[in-house]
Every structure is written in structure tokens, then in C-alpha cells.
Homo-oligomer: A and B are copies of this chain.
Amino acid sequence: MGAKRPDRREFLRGGAALAGGLTVGAAEPALGQAPPEPERYVRGDPDLIAYGERSRFVTSVRIPHPPGGRESPDAFGLVFHVAAPLQDSVGTITPSSLHFVGTTRGSLMPEIDPAEHRLMIHGMVERPLVFTMQDLKRLPSVTRLHFIECAGNRARSTHKDVQESHGMTSCAEWTGVLLSTLLEEAGVKDGAAWVVAEGTENVKGASSFPLAKAMDYCIVAYGMNGEAVRPQNGFPLRLLIPGFEGIFNTKYLRRIKVTDEYYLNYNDYGHLSRDDTRAALGYQVGPKSVITHPSGGQRLPGHGFYEISGLAWSGGGAVSRVDVSTDAGRSWQEAEIQGTAQRMAHTRFRLPWSWDGQEAVLMSRCTDEVGQVQPTQAQVAEHFGRPDNPSAGVPGLDNTIQPWRVAGDGSVHNARA
């Protein structure tokens, strides 16, 4: 690769942002030659003109979660959850076609005619209301970037890649009406303290959450990434409870009841009991982050310059800082955060890195706007009184740091394995 050294020198000359240098690519075609023509032209048919598709060369897909999938409890479907291919992610948005799906119906989903759909607001309100989709679209709306994350999104030593370890979170641009707008219109009665949201799913279709949260940041969303919410994410209406674990973000939303007590929610896990203090342990996500490139299952083609890139998020608000280590946590460098970090949204972080070809362990650590810091697995084990068994897993939500080991041959592996 000697012929490429001049380029590396240039990258060094380019300063810190380019420290390390790139081993510039193939010698073919030779400089001055015209690059090859495309193998062929494709004639778009009317369907492609109406609604375009991705290239046949792009094969990134979602996978069942947990890896290998499992029978759903009622055998309605073969797939339990569906995880997003974060290893191929660029930027901050998850494409709607690749957004993770949490379900207890396997791949079964309600098909709802939006013209027939209604949202009812009742319980401890002055004026019970029923809204059509057309009504909702007349009301003052907001558009915000928010992540959703399933409580099942927990790193394990058995995970081969970031799709298996962190693929149960995604981020989209959601548009809809603030829940507070609807509740103010209905008129919340004195003594109300809780809200129960119900979706059109016989299983896992309801959740209780505090009225205080309902009045803050929650969105009754009909738009997702610039078009209608996708069926797998609750078409025509999904409740966004930004920062709370995924199960609270009720899909196929049809009813909101204001109450004075915490309700038992019907779900398949039982991690939401009538004990609201216990339930509260499951509310808020993060602070959390993961490196998506280089990550498990990928391979670095050679030493030299690389950009370390990943996603950070927190249920506590905006990401304020991300630090990256390339030496298993002995030293840390502050990464660059893309643009202005949004509240309860995935945030892309990046750090230039010159790989010397030696084994390296890569880690990222998120700090959020309220000062919360993402812990290591060992710190959490210590906290829960079992320092001798750090891999036992974390009760509640797992936001521990994910280490990736880059081997001398450039292959990348889960360093927990």
C-alpha cells in the first residue's frame, strides 16, 4: 500500500479532523480513464413513477428479535419483535420501512380504515369527546424527532451485531396533535392523576402513565417521516410518549381515559403491575448510546483513517455529550454531535480515528442534558450488589455501554462475548 502513503500524509496535513489518513481506494479505473458506464438502464414503470423504491443493490433488512425469532404467545404470528439494521444506519432518521416493531401478535397487525377510525377521550373530563381523523388534522400540530425503544433492547454477550443488541430502537419525524391540546379541550377534572391509553390490539394495547407526563411532550401522531404512520407502527394513529419505554407508545390509538388511579395494563410481560412505584422503574429510557460503525460483524479493509460513528439518545431529554474510547475505556475523547441534539431523539455522533492495525476495543458513553451518564455493565452490577457477576443482566431498562473489539485482521466482534 506504499503507493497510497501520499494520501495519508495529506490527511495528516489536513489536521485533527482528518488525523490518520485514508488508504485511498482501488487503482481501477486508472486515473484519467472514464469510470465505467452503468451495466444497464432501468425504465421506471408507472408504479415506480407514483411511489419509488430502493435499489436492488441495497439489501439491508429487519430481522426477528430475539435473534431467530420465537413463537408469539398465541401463535398468531411467527415473529415476536422485529429489529432495525442499525449497522447500516446513516444520519439520525430510521426509514419507516426499517423502523423496529414491537408486537405480541407476531407479524399480525390490525388493518384500520382511517375513515372509520375514532379517538375517544373520556373518564375524569368535563366533556368526553370523539375525534375523527379529519377532526384531528384540523387541530394545531407539531413535528418532532423522537426515538422509541423497546425494553427488550438489552445488550447480551451472545449478540453478534448491533442489530441484535440495539435494533429495538428507531427514530422518526413524528407529526400530530399534542395530547395536552386534546386534554385541555376535554377539560381534566380535579383529582385526576393518571391516563390510560388503549389501542386496537387485543394484546398489549393499553398503558397507564402519569397525567403530568401526558401534559408534557406527548403527541397523538398521524404523521411519520413525512407521510402517514405506517401500519406496523400504529396506522392511522399512534401515541408518542417520548422517552418512556416502547410499550407506552400505544399503537392504533382509539381511546384515552383520564383516571384517579393507576390501572393494571393488559400486556404479556407483567412488568407493569398495579404497583405504580414498581411500574415507574420502567418509565424512562437512557442515557444510552452505541457505535454503529465499526460494529460487530463488520470488517475494516485495512489500517488507516476511519470515522467512528454511532447513535446516542436519552429519555431524560437531549444528548449533551458523547465520549468515545478506543482503548476499552482507559481514555476517552469527546465526539462531535451532528447538528443540534433534539429532546428524546437519536443523535448521530462521530469521531475521526486512525486505526494502527492493532486490536482495539471501541466504546461510547452518552451524557444527557440533566447530567445523567451512561454506565458500564460493571458499574451497574456493582450498583445491584453483584460485582462478581456483571453479565447477569440489568433489571428494568439496560442502558449499559456496548464494547466492540476490533481484531488485528479488521474483523469486529462483541467484546462482551
Bound-state CA distance A255–B181 (Å) is 52
Stretch at the interface among A44-52, A238-246, A391-399, A400-408: A44-52
With A42-B231, A54-B231 as given contacts, are A116 and B36 in contact (CB-CB < 8 Å)? yes
Q: Does A127 contact B (CB under 8 A)?
A: yes
Q: Does A213 contact B (CB under 8 A)?
A: no
Bound-state CA distance A334–B41 (Å) is 48
Q: How many residues of A contact B (CB 8 A)?
A: 128
Q: State how many angstroms separate the Cβ of A76 from the closest Cβ of chain B.
A: 8
Q: Are B55 and A235 in touch, CB under 8 angstroms? A: yes
Q: Does A348 contact B (CB under 8 A)?
A: yes
Q: Are A10 and B173 in touch, CB under 8 angstroms? A: no
Smallest CB gap from A135: residue in B: B25
Which residues of chain B come closer than 8 Å to A301, judged between CB atoms? 134
Stretch at the interface among A260-268, A282-290, A302-310, A358-366: A302-310
Interface membership of chain A positions 87-105, coded 1 if the CB is closer than 8 angstroms to chain B and 0 otherwise: 0111111111111010001
Which residues of chain B come closer than 8 Å to A339, judged between CB atoms? 143-144, 342
Q: State how many angstroms separate the Cβ of A219 from the closest Cβ of chain B.
A: 11
Q: Does A71 contact B (CB under 8 A)?
A: no
> Which of B6, B139, B228 touches A22 (beta carbons < 8 Å)?
B139
Which residues of chain B come closer than 8 Å to A111, judged between CB atoms? 38-42, 55-56
With A49-B107, A51-B97 as given contacts, are A35 and B254 in contact (CB-CB < 8 Å)? yes
Q: Does A217 contact B (CB under 8 A)?
A: no
Q: Does A415 contact B (CB under 8 A)?
A: no
Q: Are B223 and A129 in touch, CB under 8 angstroms? A: no
Interface membership of chain A positions 118-135, coded 1 if the CB is closer than 8 angstroms to chain B and 0 otherwise: 111010000111111011
Q: State how many angstroms separate the Cβ of A300 from the closest Cβ of chain B.
A: 9
Q: Does A188 contact B (CB under 8 A)?
A: no
Q: Are B132 and A96 in touch, CB under 8 angstroms? A: no
With A26-B130, A44-B77, A140-B350 as given contacts, are A52 and B226 in contact (CB-CB < 8 Å)? no
Interface centre among A40, A112, A122 (most CB of B within 10 A): A112
> Which of B34, B135, B184, B226 touches A91 (beta carbons < 8 Å)?
B226
Interface hits, A61-83 → B, CB 8 Å: 61-64, 76-77, 79, 82
Q: Are B185 and A226 in touch, CB under 8 angstroms? A: no
Q: Does A370 contact B (CB under 8 A)?
A: no
Q: Does A232 contact B (CB under 8 A)?
A: yes
Q: Are A113 and B57 in touch, CB under 8 angstroms? A: yes
Bound-state CA distance A341–B54 (Å) is 29
Bound-state CA distance A143–B231 (Å) is 28
Q: Does A236 contact B (CB under 8 A)?
A: yes
Interface membership of chain A positions 328-366, coded 1 if the CB is closer than 8 angstroms to chain B and 0 otherwise: 000000000011101000001010100000000000000
> Which of B60, B93, B184 touches A93 (beta carbons < 8 Å)?
B93
Interface membership of chain A positions 2-36, coded 1 if the CB is closer than 8 angstroms to chain B and 0 otherwise: 00001100110010011000101111110110111
Which residues of chain B come closer than 8 Å to A255, judged between CB atoms? 34-35
> Which of B60, B91, B120, B132 touches A143 (beta carbons < 8 Å)?
B91
List 24 interface pairs A-B (beta carbons < 8 Å), by A numbering.
A14-B184, A14-B185, A22-B185, A24-B129, A24-B130, A25-B131, A26-B130, A29-B118, A31-B122, A35-B254, A42-B108, A51-B62, A51-B97, A52-B231, A52-B232, A53-B231, A55-B228, A57-B113, A90-B141, A91-B223, A95-B227, A138-B304, A138-B306, A139-B307
What 5 pairs between A and B have smallest CB-CB spacing?
A44-B107, A90-B223, A25-B132, A50-B61, A25-B135
Contacts from A to B (Cβ < 8 Å): 6-7, 10-11, 14, 17-18, 22, 24-29, 31-32, 34-45, 48-58, 60-64, 76-77, 79, 82, 88-99, 101, 105-120, 122, 127-132, 134-135, 138-144, 173-175, 181, 184-185, 187, 200, 222-223, 225-228, 230-232, 235-236, 252, 254-255, 301, 304-307, 309, 338-340, 342, 348, 350, 352
